[in-house]
Amino acid sequence: MALGPLTRRIAYLEEGDIAILSRESAEILNEKGETVERRIQIAELSGAIVGKGNYKHFMEKEIHEQPATVGETLNGLVDAGTRGVVLPALPFDLATVDRVTLVACGTSYYAAMVAKYWIESLAQVPVELDIASEFRYRNGPVLPGSLAMFVSQSGETVDTLAALRYAKAKGAHTAAVVNVPTSAMAREADVMLRTLAGPEIGVATTKAFTAQLSVLACFATALGRARGLISADREAQITQALMEIPARLAEGLVKLPSLLTPIVEEVAEARDVLYLGRGLSYPLAMEGALKLKEISYIHAEGYAAGEMKHGPIALIDETVPVIALAPEDSWFEKTVSNLQEVAARRGRVIVFTTKRGAEHLRPIAAHVVEMPDIDPLVSPLLYALPVQMLAYYVAVRKGTDVDQPRNLAKSVTVE
């Protein structure tokens, strides 16, 4: 992206290559010192060149692009006629996959965490999930012939790349869910599952996350189908639910700004914020906390709501906003009872739920935001939006450098 304003013709060096540059030419030597040719590719237009349009920040623009980027990503994976998922050609038989290892960092890790819930429930395949910087050094088992998946916007995160190489060396099939098709992970994995989010400039990732979720939901569905656990009708129901997401995101983009205004005021004044969720909303709670801390510098933690009574509930008082993600799913009643415990300790409950969910929660919550109705299975794709927007508005209110928060890089290529 840094080279975007200068050229779109890019040659990628391979491991061990050295380039000797002069004003007139570039000579590339491989690790044996032999002169080699590396193919010149035409890079896609950089978002930095496209610009921010009428938005104040890239992050704001990228949040608003999500109806289009989720739609694009799904269009590449769902057959509009049969409503079935169509994955790219795989060098292994999906029906034989009986174990998945999922590895990533940061927000991509939270997308992988949602995928664990989807893969285990839809395909009944056990998933081992790990943070790349832990996975790569613990010398854990990766079974030859098992599937190891790596999730990364940039495809260059050094720990995730090292984890991919480790799994490959152990004989696993490797798949990379990446947004940059020319990245190291895209080139080195056996198969690339591409997110079509387009160039993402804001350091806080938004549209890449929902695009990752789109790919991973399709993958989990295809795996369940290949293993005979999902009928064609159920598959069509799931893809239908996914295809409705862009419209619901567009609705959210219009309605949420005014609904969030009083919440932004409250959160911006807080020193600590807790995010809670259960089931598919638990990773979203972690993602909400990460978004808030990275761009607004407010301390935030994401917890599984059922874990509150094992410690964090001791933090609750009227100064700590507790933000709950509570779609009306199979975990809803349990979440409500956890929130009652918070309210009983004078906690300020802020909740994102459905219209019907709101009826249960209004008596105990300081703020209730009604979200559009959707199939709870795909709720992470929609509930990502309010946590992104809340973090964004709080950061703007605090006057931080939203697109370039302190101490952070877009792509972490050092350990």
Site residues for ligand M6R per CB under 6 A: 105-108, 152-154, 157, 160, 203-205, 290, 294, 408, 411-412
Question: Minimum distance between the CB of residue 68 and ligand M6R, rounded to whole angstroms?
Answer: 20
Q: How far is CA 160 from CA 149, 155, 329, in A?
A: 10, 8, 32
Q: How far is CA 35 from CA 40, 187, 368, in A?
A: 16, 21, 64
Question: Minimum distance between the CB of residue 81 and ligand M6R, rounded to whole angstroms?
Answer: 33
How far is Cα 301 from Cα 136, in angstroms, rounded to an integer? 25
Return the closest-CA partner of residue 273 out of 327, 317, 209: 317
Question: Minimum distance between the CB of residue 384 and ligand M6R, rounded to whole angstroms?
Answer: 11
How far is Cα 381 from Cα 245, in angstroms, rounded to an integer? 7
Q: Of the two residues 340 and 411, which places its CB atom closer to ligand M6R in the complex? A: 411
Q: Of the two residues 101 and 239, which places its CB atom closer to ligand M6R in the complex? A: 101
- Both ends of the chain: CA-CA distance in Å? 21
Q: Which residue is nearest to ligand M6R (CB)?
A: 106
Q: SS3 of 315, please?
A: helix
Question: Minimum distance between the CB of residue 165 and ligand M6R, rounded to whole angstroms?
Answer: 15
- DSSP, res 312: G
Q: Of the two residues 103 and 371, which places its CB atom closer to ligand M6R in the complex? A: 103
Question: Minimum distance between the CB of residue 309 and ligand M6R, rounded to whole angstroms?
Answer: 29
- Provide the b/e sequence for 237-268 (b: ≥16 CB within 10 Å): bbbebbbbbbebbbebbeebeebbeebbeebb
Q: Of the two residues 122 and 193, which places its CB atom closer to ligand M6R in the complex? A: 193
Question: Minimum distance between the CB of residue 361 and ligand M6R, rounded to whole angstroms?
Answer: 28
Q: Of the two residues 158 and 236, which places its CB atom closer to ligand M6R in the complex? A: 158
Question: Minimum distance between the CB of residue 295 and ligand M6R, rounded to whole angstroms?
Answer: 8
Element spanning 212, H or E: helix 207-226
CA 259 to chain centre: 24
Q: Of the two residues 43 and 229, which places its CB atom closer to ligand M6R in the complex? A: 43
Question: Minimum distance between the CB of residue 390 and ligand M6R, rounded to whole angstroms?
Answer: 14
Tokens of 336: 């409500």
Q: Of the two residues 283 and 347, which places its CB atom closer to ligand M6R in the complex? A: 283
Question: Minimum distance between the CB of residue 161 and ligand M6R, rounded to whole angstroms?
Answer: 9
Q: Of the two residues 336 and 394, which places its CB atom closer to ligand M6R in the complex? A: 394
What are the strands, taking DSSP E only, across 170-313?
A: 173-178, 191-194, 272-277, 299-304
Q: Of the two residues 301 and 328, which places its CB atom closer to ligand M6R in the complex? A: 301
How far is Cα 230 from Cα 242, in angstroms, rounded to an integer? 16
CB 315 within 8 A of CB 346: no
How far is Cα 339 from Cα 355, in angstroms, rounded to an integer? 17
